[in-house]
Amino acid sequence: MLFNPKSFFSKNQSSVKLLKRVVLISFSLLLLVLFNYQITKGSYYLRRAQNNYVRVIPLYSLRGSIFDRNGVVLAKDMASFNLAVFPYQIKNKKDSLFKKISQDLGLDQKIIYKNYKKNLRGFFSPTNIVTNISKKKALHLKEAYPKSLSINPTPQRKYLRPLETAHILGYVKKASSLKKQLKKYGYKPLERIGIYGIEQYYDSYLKGKNGGDLIEVDAAGNVVGFLGRKRAYRGKDIYLTIDSRAQEIAKKSLNKRKGTIIFLDSNSGEIITLYSSPSFDPNLFIKGKDLGSIYKNKASPLINRATQSTFPVGSLIKPLLAIAGLQENKIKPTTTFNCKGHLVLGSNRFKCWGTHGVQDLYQALAHSCNIYFYKLGLIIGPKKISSWAKKFGLDSKTFIDLPYEKKGFVPSPQWKKDKFNQSWYAGDTLNLSIGQGYLHTTPLAITLAINSIANQGYLVEPILLKEVEDAEASLAFRRTLNIAGENLKIVKKGLRKTVNQSSGTARILKNLSLEISGKTGTAQTSGRSHGWFVGFFPYKQPKYTISVFLENGGSSHQALRIAYSFLDKLKRNNIIK
Amino acid sequence: MNFLKRISKEFTGLKTIVLSLVLLNLISIASLYSSLHQQGQFVGGDFFSKQLTWIAFSWIVFIIFNFINYRLYYNLSFIIYTLSIILIGAVYFTGHEAMGAQRWLSIGGFSFQPSELSKLAIIIVMARFFSHPPANNFLKDFFLPFSFVGLSAFIIFSQPDLGTAIMVILIAFAIGLFSKVNKKYFVWVLIAVLIAAPFSWTFLKSYQKKRLTAFVNPNIDPLGSGYTIIQSKIAIGSGQVFGKGFLAGTQNQFNFLPERHTDFIFTVIAEEWGFLGSLFLLFIYWLIIKKIFDRLKKIRDPFAYYLTVGIGIYFFLHVFINIGMTLGIFPVVGLPLLFVSYGGSHLISSFILLGIFFNISRNYK
């Protein structure tokens, strides 16, 4: 429908007038205020501008420290000593001063000039010309040039377990080294801001509040008065759920091989260990040194493989498929399929890794029999498998409190049609049923999916924050998957057999006598296969969930050995009982 | 000569605006040049040359938009809107690199702020909705158009860019008040929003609360925004009637004013050119806005009508709120001064809007 042009345009004339009047009145208001400032009070403001220049010298706050669950310090601020000048004080003697200092320190004069230029923020701000020198040297120079130099101790971040916790903690950078737009958010150029990890995620807790000295300077630039100080407030301390001893054991167990170890409280989702290998030293970012070794490393140490990379999961999908089959009433635990070592579908042969004979669900899980799960997958159908994989969170974020988390991907017939304009083949269903093909997810997401079998069917939200100084933090969150308790018990029993049955795929873990249940996985890729193990213990009421992932590790066997060594050391060190 | 005559005829009644624009460009260049000085030294780096590039580029964009028939935006309104949502969404997801400041998308060496585009999109979408007679139905007349506004504002707000989010809502609301939609809807909604605000917290999911607790709260200055405002007032006031002269503003030259080349550029002008300079600047703005609203009586297409209303309101609000902010009338939100502040995004979108207006004007002479 359209307006009747005649009435529409004639009636509007009065509101146009009103609009113009609003503009005129608003502008007049601005003029009135301007008149008041510039003419009525003009000489007053001019006097203020001429006589008293008020200047702020920022005082930077100390960042809060980060501790592990036992109160071990992981990151804290330490003093670093810098020599600074106030540009307005050295106006004419800059060159001679810099020359003398460079001679005293044996430092190239160019570096001093470079620092001066880089750190210059204004004529009344302390400007660092020599950074990071020993306290002794700093005091010595201050004595030699008491009028021109000042010692400017600034806090520097120090990571005490750098390699063990790099991916969890992240690091800090000076805001000035980032984009200038940060200034809009109240960051001062020299203020440090959390980049990556906990330092970034909880930056608002850690950063504290900057203060400043308010000084008066005259038109010549001399300080004529001290108006006041607004003190800086230290940031809040943060306690994490991780155990630094376990982080160290994880680091040793992986021994620089590409992969992850995740160890968490099955019920609360508290992360006790989250280690991604290879790791990096965040202290290098603080010092700005040797960063090439991090960036050039082909193993991409900066990536947190547990949350930022996705991989095919291989047989880890089988327990989830088993639950789907039971929930959808497609099978009973006693249903059997016969494994002859391969399955013929059209002109293709789909292999099993062994010839298992007649298998029920328990045996199929214990042996990780592909044929059983091929057939189960065909019965359930790709749409249902896809929707169950999504229900288990394989294509969503886990909402762990770390930035830049990636989510996985779960294929479906509709997706394949939209994306490749191809129909979904039975072969695709077979691949999906053993965790190959299009499906890929993060190690953390698949760990939490299997963890739901350990904790009566809850998808927990993983959490790294245990406590913030002076603040209540109750962040546990979990979501029920509405799976019948009976079905969970059946699958749990099957997963127990992988360890305690002599033919089980994870039997080497039996020696640990921790009553572990779990599932191995070997995921084929274009390169060497990925090795997986995810398990939980003790059997009756699981308390802990462990997951080991080895990128291009060859097979699940390697992952199992690492899981063994990790858990064994946790036990020996009394971290678990 | 014939060609020039034809051009001149084509732009009847628009020459004042072109002249004003050139003046604003010159003012912008001069005040930017001055604001990039500290104690007589130029400290601007590549800011100055960048801005010159932006201005030149904006004129090209302006000329191009002169020749695009404005009815095209009617047909493309929802596509433009969707594009704006995708772009601001893209910043939200990919702009993470900038750590907490996610407003910029970087193309080449220049970064662009897509939330500027969404102001433009909102004006076009609102003009389309209100160009049809209202159905006297709350859902159709009010809820539908304003859900578009709400979505844009919400995404911009979470970037986080409170200033632009408020601006989007204000512009849309102002166009809405000018439309034929029953005004009582606006009153209802205002009341509903005031009542609902405190309750919305309970509806957030735990992880959302978690995110919100970790949300970086932008505070403006270590000694409170009061410092900026006091310095701004001293700068403006000390300019008195005639100003201190070009490059002679002491407040400016001694680095007392933060953000003086962007959001606080007006203080530089007022300090160096005094009350007369400020008066002159306001007069130019008033002239442009008046010329825009004057055109309304000739327009015979409701869509063009509301586009023009939107463009005028956009210009007016930007000038009024920015200058009001430097004078301490409004709280300090990040908002540039129309056509004058440093920065390319707002400059280009203002020029685009003016280009659209010129095209409308040439259709309704």
| Complex ipTM value | 0.88
How far apart are the CA of B1 and the nearest CA of chain A, in angstroms?
37
* Claim to verify: residue A378 and residue A502 sit in the same structural domain: yes
From A443, A448, A450, select the one nearest A532 (Cα to Cα). Answer: A443
- Asked if residue A92 is part of any domain, the answer here is no
* Claim to verify: residue A198 and residue A264 sit in the same structural domain: no
CA angle B113, B170, B333 (to 5 degrees): 55
Interface check A186 vs B, CB under 8 A = yes
Q: What domain range is A169 assigned to?
A: 56-80+153-240
Of the residues A181, A205, A240, which one is the last residue of a structural domain?
A240
Interface check B154 vs A, CB under 8 A = no
* Count of structural domains within chain A: 2
Interface check A7 vs B, CB under 8 A = no
Q: Do A23 and B286 touch (CB under 8 A)?
A: yes
Contacts of A35 (CB under 8 A, 6+ apart): B275
- Asked if residue A285 is part of any domain, the answer here is yes
- Residues of chain A contacting residue B103, judged by C-beta atoms under 8 Å apart: 181
Strand, helix or coil for residue A345: strand
* Claim to verify: residue A255 and residue A187 sit in the same structural domain: no
Interface check A10 vs B, CB under 8 A = no
How far apart are the CA of B11 and the nearest CA of chain A, in angstroms?
23
- Touching B: A residues 120-159, CB under 8 Å: 122-123
- Asked if residue A543 is part of any domain, the answer here is yes
Say if residues B130 and B172 touch (Cβ distance below 8 Å).
Answer: no
Q: Do B240 and A205 touch (CB under 8 A)?
A: no
Interface check B44 vs A, CB under 8 A = no
* Claim to verify: residue A481 and residue A561 sit in the same structural domain: yes
Residue A437: exposure state from Cβ atoms within 10 A (0-12, 13-18, ≥19) = middle
Interface check B41 vs A, CB under 8 A = no
Structure tokens at A437: 């093909």
Say if residues A311 and A441 touch (Cβ distance below 8 Å).
Answer: yes
Query: Residue B294's closest chain A neighbor by CA?
Result: A16
* Claim to verify: residue A369 and residue A466 sit in the same structural domain: yes
- Residues of chain B contacting residue A39, judged by C-beta atoms under 8 Å apart: 240-241, 275
- Residues of chain A contacting residue B259, judged by C-beta atoms under 8 Å apart: 183-184
Interface check B222 vs A, CB under 8 A = yes
Kindly tell me if the per-residue pLDDT of B69 is higher than 90. yes
Of the residues A206, A240, A274, which one is the last residue of a structural domain?
A240
* Claim to verify: residue A311 and residue A342 sit in the same structural domain: yes
* Claim to verify: residue A368 and residue A492 sit in the same structural domain: yes
Task: Give the residue from B234, B261, B272, B276 with the most A CB atoms within 10 Å of its CB, the best one to mutate.
Answer: B234
- Asked if residue A69 is part of any domain, the answer here is yes
Of the residues A204, A223, A240, which one is the last residue of a structural domain?
A240
* Claim to verify: residue A518 and residue A432 sit in the same structural domain: yes
Say if residues B155 and B89 touch (Cβ distance below 8 Å).
Answer: yes
Token look-up 């923020």 returns A121
- Asked if residue A313 is part of any domain, the answer here is yes
* Claim to verify: residue A422 and residue A451 sit in the same structural domain: yes
CA dihedral for A110, A113, A117, A119, sign (positive or negative): positive
Q: Residue A26 corresponds to which amino acid?
A: S
DSSP symbol at A64: P
From A538, A506, A508, select the one nearest A521 (Cα to Cα). Answer: A506
Q: Backbone phi, then psi, for A284, in 5-degree steps?
A: -65, -35
Say if residues B257 and B235 touch (Cβ distance below 8 Å).
Answer: yes
Query: Residue B207's closest chain A neighbor by CA?
Result: A399
Residue A179: exposure state from Cβ atoms within 10 A (0-12, 13-18, ≥19) = middle
In this prediction, residue B203 has a pLDDT band, given cuts at 50, 70 and 90, of low
Contacts of B283 (CB under 8 A, 6+ apart): none
Token look-up 């990071």 returns A132
Each of the 577 residues of chain A gets a pLDDT tens digit; together they read 677 766 676 667 778 888 899 999 999 999 999 999 999 988 888 887 776 566 667 778 889 999 999 999 999 998 888 888 877 777 777 888 888 888 888 888 888 888 888 777 666 667 888 888 888 888 888 888 877 787 777 888 999 999 999 999 999 988 766 654 454 455 566 678 888 999 999 988 898 887 777 776 665 556 666 766 777 888 999 999 999 999 999 999 999 899 999 999 999 999 999 999 999 999 998 887 778 888 888 888 999 999 999 999 999 999 999 999 999 999 999 999 999 999 998 888 999 989 999 999 999 999 999 999 999 999 999 999 999 999 999 999 999 999 999 999 999 999 999 999 999 999 999 999 999 999 999 999 999 999 999 999 999 999 999 888 877 665 667 788 889 999 999 999 999 999 999 999 999 999 998 999 999 999 998 889 999 999 999 999 999 999 999 999 888 999 999 999 999 999 999 998 7
List helix spans (H) across A421-551: 426-433, 443-454, 485-500
Q: Do A19 and B178 touch (CB under 8 A)?
A: yes
How far apart are the CA of A36 and the nearest CA of chain B, in angstroms?
8
**pTM listed for this prediction:** 0.61
* Claim to verify: residue A424 and residue A485 sit in the same structural domain: yes
Q: Do B238 and A212 touch (CB under 8 A)?
A: no
* Claim to verify: residue A302 and residue A416 sit in the same structural domain: yes
* Claim to verify: residue A273 and residue A215 sit in the same structural domain: no
- Asked if residue A107 is part of any domain, the answer here is no
**CATH (domain of A188):** 3.90.1310.10
How far apart CA A286 and CA A296 sit, in angstroms, is 18
- Asked if residue A97 is part of any domain, the answer here is no
Q: Do B207 and A5 touch (CB under 8 A)?
A: no
**CATH (domain of A511):** 3.40.710.10
